[in-house]
């Protein structure tokens, strides 16, 4: 049975396009994660620590070794405040 060589061109194009798209998507996820691989199966504690680290550093996946928090951390709270009238 003869091989349809004409079918290899579209097959090669489709394979190349899927590879380019997959590589681009992977690169975009790494860029948004600060060059680190994505995190999976996060529990509540890890999400809370990620939110704290983001408030400390200003980056989504940033961490710091500084012993003291920056001054902005005092007013950059997770808790929403509302004005209470006495």
Picking from 19-28, 58-67, 71-80, which range would have the lowest pLDDT averaged per residue? 71-80
Please tell me which of 7-21, 35-49, 50-64 the model is most confident about, judged by mean pLDDT.
Answer: 7-21
CA neighbor of 53 nearest in space, from 40, 37, 70, 38: 70
pTM assigned to the model: 0.57
> Who contacts 20 (Cβ-Cβ below 8 Å, separation ≥6)?
none
pLDDT of residue 63: 81
Alpha helices by DSSP H, listed for the chain, are 8-32, 44-57
Picking from 29-33, 39-43, 46-50, 59-63, which range would have the lowest pLDDT averaged per residue? 59-63
pLDDT at residue 27 is higher than 90: yes
């Amino acid at each position: 049975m003869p091989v349809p060589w004409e079918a290899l061109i579209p097959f090669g194009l489709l394979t190349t396009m899927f590879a380019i798209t997959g590589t681009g998507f992977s690169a975009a996820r790494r860029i948004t994660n600060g060059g680190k691989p994505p995190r999976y199966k996060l529990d509540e504690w890890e999400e809370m620590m990620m939110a704290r680290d983001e408030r400390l550093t200003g980056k989504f996946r940033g961490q710091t070794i500084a012993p003291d928090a920056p001054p902005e951390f005092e007013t950059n709270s997770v808790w929403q405040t509302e004005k209470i009238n006495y």
